[in-house]
Amino acid sequence: MKPYNKNLKQAARDLRNNMTNAEKLLWSRLRNKQILGLQFYRQKPILNFIVDFYCPAANLVIECDGSQHYTSEGLEADRVRDEALTQLGLKVLRFDNGEVVGQINDVVVMIYRFCSGES
């Protein structure tokens, strides 16, 4: 079990209720164990972060990144976050929101390949 910050529970719930279009689309392809029978969770608190999607069986975090992630501050925050998650033994896959919306099948294939050990 990865470190869970109960203080982020309400914030995670709020994010689940206000997902971006990219997150909604990707969730429609991850939910109900559609990829290799693996359980994914959305907006999951880990450490002091709320990750977009988390698959404990694959030690995988998936992030859908909007434009704020491509500023110098956003890139640095993501670097720190990814490093902390990597130290927990997690792999972080990041996808641009436009990539998710415009190429959802390619995104799902990349996730499938990672989960099946192909990547």
Region of 50 (left: φ > 0; alpha: ψ -120 to 50; beta: rest) is: beta
Which pLDDT score, from 0 to 100, does residue 69 have?
62
d(CA 32, CA 41): 10
The set of residues, in sequence order, having a beta carbon less than 8 Å from that of 42 and lying 6+ positions away, is 16, 19, 23, 27, 30, 31, 52, 53, 54
Per-residue pLDDT tens digits for 2-16: 777 788 999 999 999
Decide: pTM greater than 0.85: yes
pLDDT at residue 119 above 80? no
Domain ranges of the chain: 6-115
Per-residue pLDDT tens digits for 30-74: 999 999 999 999 999 999 999 999 999 999 999 998 767 667 888
Q: Domain 6-115: what homologous superfamily?
A: VSR Endonuclease (3.40.960.10)
